[in-house]
Chain A
């Protein structure tokens, strides 16, 4: 049984919601409805279900309705239409009192700008959820301290939020949500306000935490890279509607090509970005100087399964795979010449992302980026897709090893 089941959830902001709903059912667009009724359609007929222990990411650009959608789930925003079931129980029509119970027992939320109470210490923040349930002070302290230790803040109990860095503040936010021991964590762009390095640490820790605690997590983000790293499944939103739900792999590979392009049309990054924006520094061996041992050592230290081969002038010769190199070493070969493969695709560094995307879609081997015949970079599938969708930060580490 799914922990959360959402059916036909719709939110229309404005006065004349009834007429707007009717127009929406007739298939009118967001703009038409806004012009005719003055109402804004924030979430349009969203349906999905989340299994227990699943990491479910809802991703979309700003204005796509994802933050509204997550607030509909715990009814911080009242749905205009639709059903929300939590563990089989419909909460969309609950009385205030029963809704409070659901919020206390089942759902906890983590906010984009942390939303810590500045007049309370770290510990008092973490125990807030239990405090309002009127739990005994000692007991709730114990649970709050446990949660704070879990996120690595056991030594900061008496500090105030403004004495902590952004990353630590969000740990407090996470601990506050965990203290309640909820069924479901709702995380609204929880890491978006953090700088990229800290964001990555937090992502890793969240993955660890989830593996340990087996919480169901609904995570909102605008960053495809983040979605790919975290999600068991990803729902992509556009103009308030969910356009696709699938595993990261399905999102990247299957439906993909024209769909991802369509998704990217909104930003139109593909026309601006070229190969040199998303390429990575290539790992290479020199065919004139290096043999199988060096090649193997390089691959081992970088954690990759194939490596590009150049000559002394950095002209691309081809690539070798780990299996072949291992074989050659056993055979006592001293040169890479015999195992060199040359079926590698090359692009100039000014080639647009649209063209690259078509090339990279069905290749397993990285594409080499060359300038006047010299190797300057390498394109891996993850980095290309992340570059298309994310804002500025280009990084495909998460799936690089798999592609390599």
Chain B
């Protein structure tokens, strides 16, 4: 009897009987609310953006693969400082993807990565600058970035579908949330790392804040920002593959369908395609950074 009483007492103290908080229900409600309230934003976005992306993809597909491969190989040659290895890898890798019949998928994936990365940079860099200029902004934004990056990427797909239906646009939306943080963080870091003497020098000659930013801080932070952009591009690629689950076209969709049909071979080949694309993009963006670092 005494023990039972004890148990109840312990429960009362440590596990008071509060009913389950309907966190999931609230989120559902909020998602619906946002979908409805902002449909006037989402719908035109979807209606215009989706055709635009398809148009970009079509344009790239219209280019004969040989020409595109050669262009990228030449680009690789010059960006890596006239070294031949990345060019060779590019030619062999892209040819292999074409040979396996995945060329159109590759272009679709590439278009998604390109556009979502561009958007990430356009949104991320100014936010990073804001963070570097204001301690308050940094204190507010940092936990949001942490949240965005640690939440499993799949979770973003659900509201993305609610807002934009299925297709490329929700893929870009999910990728934006997932891939923007590195650009923001590195921009902030890069600007904060500019030596105080250089900032003082700029100010002592009578720079305005904008002049200081564009003539000194951003050029000095360029290498760091580029490192962040490189990460953003890689994250965008990984997200674009996941986004195939909500109907985004590309190599990811091939992997997904191979998974559903248990076709190890097909899955592997499509996966290899993603790896090749990732290596080319990664090396290209990194080399651009190194080249800039020299001066």
Contact = CB atoms under 8 A, between A and B. Distances in A.
Contacts, number: 62
A104 interface: yes
Nearest to B198: A115
B206 A103 contact: yes
A358 interface: no
A84 interface: no
Contact of B204 (A74, A118, A119): A74
Contacts of A133: 206
Interface in B201-216: 201-208, 211, 215-216
B47 interface: no
Top 6 A-B residue pairs of the complex, sorted by shortest distance between their CB atoms: A104-B206, A103-B206, A115-B201, A109-B204, A115-B197, A129-B205
Nearest to B216: A117
B200 A180 contact: no
Interface string A88-130: 0000000000001111100111011101111100000000110
A328 to B, nearest CB: 60
Contacts of B202: 128
B197 A104 contact: no
A104 B208 CA distance: 11
A100 B208 contact: yes
Interface of A: 71, 74, 76, 100-104, 107-109, 111-113, 115-119, 128-129, 131-133, 160, 176, 180, 186
B211 A132 contact: yes
Query: Chain B at the A interface: mostly helix, strand, loop or mixed?
Result: helix
Contacts of B216: 117
B72 to A, nearest CB: 28
B206 A100 contact: yes
B220 interface: yes
B295 interface: yes
Contacts of B247: none
B219 interface: yes
Interface residues of B, number: 19
A117 B204 contact: no
A71 B219 CA distance: 25
Given A132-B206, A132-B207, A119 B201 contact: no
A160 B295 contact: yes
A115 B204 CA distance: 11
A115 B200 contact: yes
B207 A107 contact: no
B278 to A, nearest CB: 30
Interface string B225-268: 00000000000000000000000000000000000000000000
Contacts of A111: 197, 200-201
A132 B197 contact: no
Given A117-B216, A119-B295, A132-B211, A103 B204 contact: yes
Given A111-B200, A113-B197, A115-B195, 16 more contacts: A76-B203, A100-B207, A104-B206, A107-B204, A109-B200, A111-B197, A112-B197, A115-B197, A115-B198, A115-B200, A116-B201, A117-B216, A119-B222, A128-B215, A129-B205, A176-B205
Most buried by A among B200, B202, B208, B222: B200
Contacts of B219: 117, 119
6 contacts: A100-B208, A102-B206, A109-B200, A129-B206, A132-B208, A132-B215
A196 B219 CA distance: 34
Contacts of A112: 197
Given A119-B295, A132-B211, A160-B295, A103 B205 contact: yes
Most buried by A among B206, B211, B215: B206
A131 B222 CA distance: 21
Given A132-B211, A132-B215, A109 B206 contact: no
Contacts of B195: 115
Nearest to A102: B206
